[in-house]
């Protein structure tokens, strides 16, 4: 099988059936009164994994993280960490540490005291604490700032202190709740790579909660996409993008055009869909479908070609439409093409050269086309 996307490194314990999960959420349900925040959720995370929980606000991702930290107790189900059952263990005895969204730095303590706080609670020797604090300050490049108080630091520096404090105790798992949410875009992008490097260097298991899909795609080994207390898909960033398992995931990650239709012919994995938008779609389906079934064909904007004339190759799917909107973003241009059926298709073109080969204007007629394997067939 050809790989999806670009491979970062050969680390994939989730494909190894003998690998034991490091963190196991088993049939976890959490209810706040009548509101079900997490609904019968089972999820396995492996050691040294950078795992992201991605979802809109209120999907239960933070609640899941807080249950692992011990701030919330599951209504039912159990959590195992490194084989040990976590229920009944208070937060201050759990071998996990959390980096809070608000950073939660102690305002009355200096940077050094903040970092030393957790070590002091463990009764570590004073000289050892000093060494560890110095080591942490060096790691986050804040050696000059040890004597400062949190309010004397910029947002980015505070973020680093919070990070240093949460890894100072070398926890089994580091939990990060929207770790970069308060930083501006440029700083956030830099910090994403720094976090990845740090995770590699320390060999810790990271579990991050975020609503920013770009952040999750950049940093995580695997992403769990959550909706209304349930996990919709757990997969690598490339799989989530190129092979979503449902319309929800396809629509949630990136941008997508969905065509609806009935399966007309199915020969092995090659199928033909009678689309409701006035043109037939030839597709390759990874899942078995029977003729007559209603399916959706999901296609990403960058996988659609936009041309003035119909492509010569008769095997590609093609439809004629009108240029409805054009957004020039610098690195790429996004077109909205309206078909005769009223369907609006999103297309993005990389601006690989400074002048467009085939310039399009508003209201012009154009052909959209895509080969059979450009999109994915979804049955749910």
Interacting residues toward other proteins by CB under 8 A: 69-71, 90-93, 96-98, 100-102, 104, 106-108, 117-118, 121-122, 149, 151-154, 157, 165-166, 169
How is residue 27 written in tokens? 């049939």
CB of 141 to other proteins, least distance (A): 12
Work out the angle at residue 369's Cα, subtended by the Cα atoms of residues 298 and 258, and round it to the nearest 5 degrees. Answer: 20
Cα dist from 119 to 64, 70, 76, 169, whole Å: 26, 19, 33, 6
DSSP 8-state code for residue 151? G
CB of 166 to other proteins, least distance (A): 8
Nearer to other proteins, 140 or 271 (CB): 140
Give CA–CA dist 309/290, Å, rounded.
34
Nearer to other proteins, 91 or 371 (CB): 91
Nearer to other proteins, 202 or 318 (CB): 202
Residue 259: helix, strand or coil by DSSP? strand
Nearer to other proteins, 76 or 152 (CB): 152
Nearer to other proteins, 105 or 263 (CB): 105
Spatial CB neighbours of 39, under 8 Å, sequence gap ≥ 6? 29, 60, 228, 229, 230
State the burial class of residue 313 (Cβ atoms within 10 Å of its Cβ: 0-12, 13-18, 19+): exposed
What kind and span of H or E run contains 297?
Answer: strand 294-299
CB of 100 to other proteins, least distance (A): 5
HEC string for 100-145: CCCCCCCCCCCHHHHHHHHHHHCCCCHHHHHHHHHHHHHHCCCHHH
Cα dist from 32 to 84, 86, 101, 322, 366, whole Å: 26, 20, 21, 50, 53
Nearer to other proteins, 136 or 231 (CB): 136
Nearer to other proteins, 10 or 92 (CB): 92
CB of 118 to other proteins, least distance (A): 3
264 closest CA partner among 256, 252, 276, 250: 276
Nearer to other proteins, 145 or 297 (CB): 145
Work out the angle at residue 78's Cα, subtended by the Cα atoms of residues 74 and 80, and round it to the nearest 5 degrees. Answer: 125
Nearer to other proteins, 11 or 106 (CB): 106
In the chain, the N- to C-terminal Cα span, in Å, equals: 24
CB of 122 to other proteins, least distance (A): 6
Nearer to other proteins, 129 or 225 (CB): 129
CB of 120 to other proteins, least distance (A): 9
Cα dist from 303 to 28, 306, 359, 373, whole Å: 39, 10, 18, 10
CB of 52 to other proteins, least distance (A): 20
Q: Crossing angle for the helix pair 111-121 and 155-167, nearest 10 degrees?
A: 20
CB of 333 to other proteins, least distance (A): 35
CB of 211 to other proteins, least distance (A): 18
CB of 6 to other proteins, least distance (A): 33
């Amino acid at each position: 099988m050809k790989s999806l996307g670009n491979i970062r490194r050969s680390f994939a314990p989730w494909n190894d059936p003998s690998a034991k999960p490091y963190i196991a959420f088993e049939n976890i349900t959490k209810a706040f009164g009548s509101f079900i925040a997490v609904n019968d959720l089972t999820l396995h995370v492996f050691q040294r994994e950078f795992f992201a929980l991605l979802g809109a606000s209120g999907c239960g991702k933070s609640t899941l993280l807080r249950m692992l930290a011990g701030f919330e107790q599951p209504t039912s189900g159990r959590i195992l960490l490194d084989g040990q059952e976590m229920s009944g263990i208070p937060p201050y005895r759990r071998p996990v540490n959390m980096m809070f969204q608000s950073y939660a730095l102690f305002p009355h303590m200096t940077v050094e005291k903040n970092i030393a706080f957790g070590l002091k609670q463990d009764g570590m020797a004073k000289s050892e604490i000093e060494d560890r604090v110095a080591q942490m300050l060096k790691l986050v490049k804040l050696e000059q700032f040890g004597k400062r108080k949190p309010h004397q630091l910029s947002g980015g520096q505070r973020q680093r202190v919070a990070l240093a404090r949460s890894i100072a105790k070398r926890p089994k798992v580091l939990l990060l709740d929207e770790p970069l949410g308060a930083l501006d875009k440029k700083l956030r992008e830099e910090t994403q790579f720094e976090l990845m490097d740090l995770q590699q260097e320390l060999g810790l298991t990271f579990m991050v909660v975020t609503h920013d899909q770009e952040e999750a795609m950049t940093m995580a080994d695997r992403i769990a996409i959550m909706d209304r207390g349930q996990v919709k898909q757990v997969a690598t960033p490339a799989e989530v993008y190129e092979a979503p398992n449902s319309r929800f995931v396809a629509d949630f990650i990136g941008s997508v055009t969905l065509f609806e239709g009935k399966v007309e012919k199915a020969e092995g994995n090659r199928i033909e869909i009678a689309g409701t938008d006035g043109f037939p779609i030839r597709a390759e389906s990874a899942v078995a479908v029977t003729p007559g079934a209603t399916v959706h064909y999901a296609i990403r904007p960058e996988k659609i070609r936009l041309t003035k004339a119909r492509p010569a190759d008769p095997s590609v799917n093609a439809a004629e439409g009108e240029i409805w909107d054009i957004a020039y973003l610098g690195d790429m241009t996004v077109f909205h093409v309206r078909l005769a059926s009223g369907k609006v298709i999103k297309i993005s073109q990389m601006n690989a050269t400074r002048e467009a080969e085939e310039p399009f204007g508003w209201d012009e007629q154009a052909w959209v086309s895509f080969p059979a394997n450009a999109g994915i067939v979804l049955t749910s």
